[in-house]
Chain A
């Protein structure tokens, strides 16, 4: 129902808009057709990514469909042939003026203290279409204001104009119908159910789409005014979906992140993690100076001194060093560190995945799908392993939309029910570890095999669906960390054999992990997905042998085979599945070197900590799960002496006596 995928017509629908002869697309809503032709019809409830409801009545225009002119809501009205529309007629103007007056009578008009002031559709429309003066002398509606409806979102019911955007988003887009209308008539209000807070992973979106200041986000409340912003378009880096965002800052501090309506990726939606993680950049606990351990304490040091100490720790021989992390870095930083570690120091014990990922061979060698390609009408999507809502929430919203609107056939091959199960066409819930056997059985001719604990009826459905033709995308992730990644790799291979041409979307949650793999921050690979030794890199040196992965590095360290452990923005004590192994590894190595934005549990054990600039502080690029490379933009200054990751690599290379060949 959303206008995002209008049916492309071979012939347009002719209609008249304010006397102009125009053409609309088949089934196109009048409000969209007018917008496309430069005529903005005011609206509050209409949102192009959600089902129109025609509630606010702001978009009423005078339409003559052949039976005389009448006022019609343009957000509910598909253009029909020879429709005559007048958005400037006296009747239209009067209706819009009247609706605005009615919307404003109970609105508190506390614009001077309202966060929305200055960017408020109600304000803007009141200026453009409103009556200018109030005739309402009665007492306005009063509610307690504002009430927290979750940890992040505050609701001011007095400001609310009951447009159904937030409630529609919660129900229709996010599938978390935790806010709803209550009461009736003029006493209608949006609220949560008693004792059920609006605890949605997507709660921040309702703040963004609220056309008034009724919903505000606690991290932003009273922090800035829209006319004070500096802003830039960037990419969210908290997971690998690569959602497009606008970063807004005031007085050199990030104050807000908004989702950008990117057709290819996030459709303007963001998960709360993507939306609110900018707060980390403003934290008082950032590492702002290079630190060197001195008798058990980390003390501030000069960059040159710290870089020399870091280089000293690296110079113990390629086979004695292990490097963990690198998924936080932008592509440029990843390449610089890859060139430093692999191309200069010859180290290959490097892994950006901390035991929670997929094999780099699978990710780098498989044909890659796109989100829009996977979710296109007529596609079949196999969800292997992971629960999308937990791993990549914005991709979950796209998949949920595609599945609930019948665009895709979803086959689940997971160890348990996921948040997409209600919309799946076939649910193959396997016993852990048996995904490969189920996938192999699907390739066979038998349709009712009892394998892997899968229900035979569901097996038969999947068996038939996979033979139905149409493009197939396999979304590949890990069910849980106890199950080996090899199970997933095996199942993927079986499915790829069954569906020739099937493309994959890897579900790796770490921010720029796809970039890290592409840049060679994984054992056995050089940038560009080239295998070690397959072709000359042009670098001064190359690792002699394929190195160890994260588990191998930690085991080798625990066994005393490594003397230096480098943490490139990694916190394995908190983040690696086997904490005990990490503790033993940390205890056994001589030196821990860290490049980090915070003193984490792990980096505070380091003997050298180099402060890195983070999200919003450096320009660069990102690679999302599709292989798309959107830019990252610096919006604020990195605190203290924190530097971009590639600069840190250059600094360390300098201390090693090498030249990475970069300059600003």
Chain B
């Protein structure tokens, strides 16, 4: 979107034409203003050149492209939340429904992500057979992955699905070129913060959804986060949980209350005020958000087998269960780090300051209570 916005717009137009649609909404999340600016600029140019809009290129095909800039919320990536937001309502997912029947403004709607649409022009030019020459049989084509964290060369890479492994990606010369300072690998998140963590043992798993699932995680968004052996597992878990606590829309109870509770407990452990049962408590809160065994990678040293993806949920959408992934992964693998931070004798934390508390803690004034 920032580098080649035309590819996206072209993909939109082709898709609309193929489906016989004449209204296209491009919802650009509020967190990426540069993408918005560039998409807006190129959309405007396409309009002037009559690549979109009324009577495209002088034909009787008309496709309106409406650009909508979100206010900044992770959960509008969920399609029902995106529809709600686009309609001008709060960014809360609604009960899953069949959007192709009742979508935006209760009209039939197709929701696709940028990566899918951006693939369309290439597919049209080169054909499906050419596309299938990339990737594995089960997962043809390429996909974009974003590697961040403790690697020598973080960045966004286009990779062939199923052909390369995580080891290639993390250590390969064409890709991340290894861990920083040649440190050891502690863990890596294979597909966005909601993906359970992978470890050394999973390095040879091919980059392919159907391979990652049985191993206990997913490729998800393709955002790969690498942690070297200097990483504090508790702090890393807290950082990810805090993200979900902040991004929870607040609609359904388990996510709204559960993610915030998890964040507080993790912060407390990190602050040295952990209590002996906090580890079990964290796992138990997770079970109230995501009942049943939570997906995790195998841990051969302890003889623990992988729990395959996806998790169950008591919530409306998968955001709440996402917060459980870092906690379950970190505790299962690095329980000793948690235990080391928890003082042997339980200290009752009263009135201790939280890391960054943003609640209005004004005492009740003028109340009978």
* A161 close to B (CB within 8 Å): yes
What are the 4 A-B residue pairs with the smallest beta carbon separation, nearest first? A188-B250, A98-B288, A186-B260, A102-B257
Contact of B364 among A105, A144, A162, A222 (CB under 8 A): A144
Chain A positions 40-60 with a Cβ under 8 Å from a chain B Cβ: 53-58, 60
Interface presence of A143 (CB below 8 A):
yes
Residues of B within 8 A of A341 (CB): none
Please measure, in the bound complex, the distance between the C-alpha atom of A520 and the C-alpha atom of B121, giving whole angstroms: 82
Question: What residue of chain A has the Cβ atom nearest to residue B245's Cβ?
Answer: A185
B368 at the interface (CB under 8 A from A): yes
Taking the closest CB of chain B, its distance from the CB of A651, in whole angstroms, is: 45
The reply to whether B256 and A185 contact each other, CB–CB distance below 8 Å, is yes
How many A-B contacts are there with CB distance less than 8 Å?
125
Secondary structure type dominating chain A contacts: loop
Instruction: Tell which of A55, A113, A138, A145 touches B261, judged by Cβ atoms closer than 8 Å.
Output: A138
| With A56-B253, A142-B359, A144-B362 already in contact, 18 other A-B pairs whose C-beta atoms are closer than 8 Å | A55-B316, A71-B291, A98-B254, A98-B314, A99-B288, A99-B314, A102-B256, A105-B261, A138-B264, A139-B351, A139-B354, A142-B362, A142-B363, A162-B251, A162-B253, A185-B245, A186-B260, A188-B250
Docked-complex contact B369 and A57, CB < 8 angstroms: no
Question: A57–B268 contact, CB under 8 A?
Answer: no
Q: How far is the CB of A258 from chain B (nearest CB, A)?
A: 23
A residues near B, CB below 8 A? 53-58, 60, 70-71, 73, 76, 91, 94-95, 98-99, 101-103, 105-106, 110, 113, 135-139, 141-146, 161-162, 181, 183-188, 222
Q: Are A222 and B250 within 8 A (Cβ)?
A: no
With both chains docked as a complex, state the minimum distance between the C-beta of B174 and any C-beta of chain A, in angstroms. 40
A101 x B358 contact (CB < 8 A): no
B257–A137 CB distance below 8 A? no
Please determine whether B314 and A184 come into contact, CB atoms closer than 8 angstroms. no
Which one, A99, A145, A188, contacts B369 given CB within 8 A? A145
Question: Chain A residues with Cβ under 8 A from B367's Cβ?
Answer: 145-146
Residues of the B chain whose Cβ atoms lie less than 8 Å from the Cβ of A103: 253, 257
Task: Point out the residue from A53, A102, A145, A183 that lies within 8 Å of B254, measured CB to CB.
Answer: A102
**A-B residue pairs in contact (CB < 8 Å), sample of 9:** A57-B252, A94-B287, A95-B314, A98-B291, A142-B362, A144-B365, A146-B367, A184-B73, A185-B249
CB closest chain-A residue, reference B353 = A139
Q: Which residues of chain B have a CB within 8 Å of any CB of chain A?
A: 73, 90-91, 94-95, 245-254, 256-261, 264-265, 268, 275, 281, 284, 287-288, 291, 312, 314-316, 348-349, 351, 354, 358-365, 367-369
CB-CB < 8 A to B288: which residues of A? 94-95, 98-99, 101-102
Residue of B nearest to A188 (CB): B250
A137→B91 CA distance, assembly (Å): 31
B interface majority secondary structure? loop
Taking CB atoms, residues of chain B closer than 8 Å to A102 are 253-254, 256-258, 261, 288
Known contacts A55-B253, A76-B95; is-contact A185 B364 (Cβ 8 Å): no
Docked pose: A105 CA to B258 CA in angstroms: 9
A102-B258, A113-B369 given as contacts; is B291 within 8 A of A95 (CB)?
A: yes
Output the nearest chain B residue to A110 by Cβ-Cβ distance.
B369
A98 to B320, CA, bound (A): 14
Q: Which of A91, A181, A185 is the one whose CB lies under 8 Å from B260?
A: A185
Q: Are A94 and B291 in contact (CB under 8 A)?
A: yes
B259 touches A185 (CB 8 A): yes
Please give, as numbers and ranges, the residues of chain A lying within 8 Å of B312 by CB-CB distance. 70-71
- In angstroms, Cα B348 to Cα A187, docked, is 25
Q: Is A60 in contact with B314, judged by CB distance below 8 angstroms?
A: yes
**CB contact between A222 and one of B252, B351, B368 (< 8 Å): that residue:** B368
Contact A142–B95 (Cβ < 8 Å): no
- A95 and B246 CA atoms in complex are apart in Å by 24
Q: Kindly state the separation between the CA atoms of A91 and B314 in the bound complex, as whole angstroms.
A: 11
Most A C-beta atoms less than 10 A away, residue of B73, B254, B281, B351? B254
Q: Which residue of A lies closest to B97 (CB)?
A: A76
Residues of A near B364 (CB, < 8 A) are 144-145
Pick the most buried of A54, A60, A110, A184: most chain B CB atoms within 10 A of its CB. Answer: A184
Taking each of B354, B358, B359, which has the highest tally of chain A beta carbons within 10 Å of its own beta carbon?
A: B359
Q: A143-B360, A145-B367, A185-B249 given as contacts; is B260 within 8 A of A99 (CB)?
A: no
Residues of B within 8 A of A222 (CB): 368
Q: How far is the CB of B109 from chain A (nearest CB, A)?
A: 20
Closest chain B residue to A100, Cβ basis: B253
Contact pick for B90, options A54, A143, A181, CB 8 Å: A181
Distance A138 CA – B262 CA, assembled complex (angstroms)? 11
Contacts A57-B314, A186-B245; is A138 near B258 (CB within 8 Å)? no
Chain A residues near B245 (CB-CB < 8 A): 185-186
Residue of A nearest to B358 (CB): A187
Q: Which residues of B contact A70 (CB under 8 A)?
A: 312
- CB contact under 8 A between A91 and B361, given known A57-B253, A103-B253, A185-B250: no
